[in-house]
Amino acid sequence: MAKLKEVSKKQDILSSGHRLCAGCGASIAVRQILSACDDPVVVASATGCLEVATTIYPYTSWRSSFIHNAFENAAATISGVEAMYQSLKKQGKIDKEMKFIAFGGDGGTYDIGLQSLSGALERGHDFVYVCYDNEAYMNTGIQRSSATPRGVWTTTSPCGEVIPGKTQYRKDLTGIIAAHKIPYVAQASIWRWSDLIDKAHKAFYTKGPAFLNVLSPCPRGWRFPSEKTIKMAKLSVQTNFWPLYEVENGKWKLNYKPKERKPVTEWMEPQGRYKNALRPENKQLVEEIQKDIDDNWERLLILCGEK
């Protein structure tokens, strides 16, 4: 289990001074994850909030090798670098241990980067892929993605008298990645920092591809005060909106079970993007969202051998 005293002594690979928004969940996730790596690391990042705010020319916030690639090909880029590293090791031209990690938002992972990611996982490259899931295309104007929950306002799923925000449910990306039968897959939260760091360490030191899906609360897009980021991450877990689990060599394991399951409305109410969905006339919509969360939770309990 990760120990706070030990983690606090490590130098951050992502330094302060970047231009991510106050309260951004992505920077918290990145710092926690990279603290779990004990070897030199090569970082690739898809175009998105994380990249544009940390590598504004001629400055960089990264104390590591860093590759900026296109929106859709972070996994292809890092898998190519990892393949070259393996070749150089075989040739005796490099002998030190190195780790490889790619970061992408939900737009570059759930959507236009899914093909690249799926291919890299199928080929079996030894790397970690992290999705910092802020549930929309935040960098380009808060447009909906396939990670955007049902009932949410975005600039491309606006709320009105006829349509109360996004009409579709979010994609189960973690389940899709688990279906690739790779060695390690996990869903994590910045609220449970020790759990996230432990999962990141497993991901780095598992031979073969590993995947982490981390919910990244976004004050700007979700419409909540920037000081409430960790609270939002906590509520997402306590309401079972974002359950914490891992799939290690095909075995599903639940990492956290709320003692008292909170209703999904406690997660929705602090967020301005749900304002329209919470109106009295949309009561049925909220009930359907709650039922979907409950059904997914019951399914997860079965997969994890809890029922």
| Structure confidence by residue, pLDDT tens digits, 238-273 | 999 999 999 999 999 999 999 999 999 999 999 999
pLDDT of residue 256: 98
Q: What is the pLDDT of residue 307?
A: 86
Threshold 0.85, pTM exceeds: yes
How do strand 184-189 and strand 245-248 relate by DSSP bridges?
Answer: antiparallel
Contact 242, 216 (CB under 8 A): no
pLDDT class of 7 with cuts at 50, 70, 90: confident
The CATH number of the domain holding residue 93 is 3.40.50.970
β-partners of residue 253 are 246
**Is the confidence at residue 5, as pLDDT, over 90?**
no
Which residue spans within the chain are E strands per DSSP? 41-46, 65-69, 99-105, 128-133, 184-189, 210-215, 245-248, 251-254
3-state secondary structure of 206: coil
Tell me the C-alpha to C-alpha distance, in Å, between residue 231 and each of 52, 54, 84, 121, 267.
26, 25, 42, 33, 9
- Residue 162, pLDDT score: 86
Residue 48: band (very low, low, confident or very high) from pLDDT cuts 50, 70, 90: very high
Q: How many domains are contained in the chain?
A: 1
The Cα 113–Cα 176 span in angstroms is 13
Mean pLDDT in residue range 28-33: 98
Structural domain of residue 49, as residue ranges?
4-303
Check pLDDT > 80 for residue 69: yes
